[in-house]
Amino acid sequence: MPNIPVIKDGVVVNVVVVEEGAHWAPPKGCVLGPAGGNMGDLFDGTAYSRPPEPPEPTPFTSPSRTAEQKLLAAGLTVDELKTLLGIQ
């Protein structure tokens, strides 16, 4: 029994094994594709391909100025802000 790709919107969303002679239909909005596709593959109506690799995540960079630097630029010190907020 071959593995049968289930395709939705051009993407293989499942791969099923259907026994010969079984009366099984894919879920609404899905179609059965030709053998050969794997989960996540893209299907253009003719051939399967792997989706492109996601881009590398951008490393977090700290803001150019720290909160303390911003307070100082506004004319406040950390201690003054703590006093204003009632934090000891």
**Per-residue pLDDT of the chain in tens (88 residues, 90 and over written 9):** 689 999 999 999 999 998 888 888 999 999 999 999 999 999 999 999 999 999 998 877 666 667 777 777 888 887 887 887 788 6
pLDDT of the residue at 62: 64
Helix (DSSP H) and strand (DSSP E) numbers for the chain: 2, 5
pLDDT of the residue at 74: 85
pLDDT of the residue at 35: 92
Burial classification of residue 80, based on how many CB atoms lie within 10 Å of its CB (0-12 exposed, 13-18 middle, 19 or more buried): exposed
Domain ranges of the chain: 3-49
